Amino acid sequence: MARTKSPLTMAIDVACSSKAILQQVQAVNTHDLFKAQADFCGSSMLRAQTFVPPMLLGLSLELALKAWTILDGSKNEPPREHDLSKLFASTSDTTQNRLNLRYQNEVAPFYPNFLNLNYGLEDMLVGIRHAFVEWRYSYEVETARLDSNHMRATAEMLLSEFEDCILVEKAPPAT
């Protein structure tokens, strides 16, 4: 009989998956067209490669938010949801406030929204709510506003705050 993971272990596993995807995006130069690819796909390759990092970052953000949801709700399984906005809304008020505050302090100043001066994490997630689902079929997407750097910074922030929470708040007391 398989042993069930504790919610904390499951949350950490999901967060690690998110971080692994984020690290792959950070490590790969997706605009490096090899000659064979260019010969086979021509200019289509550049368009396809443009959507790969944001699609993977969308998945990384999704998994990071699912890790927070598991941590908050003590459920053993991540919610079956892809909508980033809904995933954020499914976290506790405490987590939402915590993440939004860190976003406002560390990410938002580098990606200002001059149309909405109170632009927060929830606003950012609404704008890319279906990133993974829609962008994985890049050949079907006609237009999209992508900011991979903003998405990357947000994923890094979510995971950094998750790690801080695990190490500081969830760690057993020193003996």
| Confidence tier at 1 by pLDDT (50, 70, 90) | very low
Amino acid 33: pLDDT: 45
Amino acid 133: pLDDT: 86
- How many CB atoms sit inside 10 A of residue 86's CB? 14
Size of the chain, expressed as the number of residues it contains? 175
The pLDDT tens digits of the residues spanning 55-85 come to 899 999 999 999 999 999 856 788 899 999 9
**Overall pTM surpassing 0.75 (yes/no):** yes
CATH domain 7-165 topology: Four Helix Bundle (Hemerythrin (Met), subunit A) (1.20.120)
| Confidence tier at 164 by pLDDT (50, 70, 90) | very high
The pLDDT tens digits of the residues spanning 15-44 come to 999 999 999 888 875 445 455 455 555 555
Q: How far apart are the first and last CA of the chain?
A: 34
d(CA 29, CA 148): 13
d(CA 11, CA 76): 8
Considering only residues 36 and 165, tell me which one the structure prediction assigns the higher pLDDT: 165
The pLDDT tens digits of the residues spanning 82-125 come to 999 999 999 999 999 999 999 999 999 999 887 777 789 999 99
The residue-averaged pLDDT of 145-170 equals 90
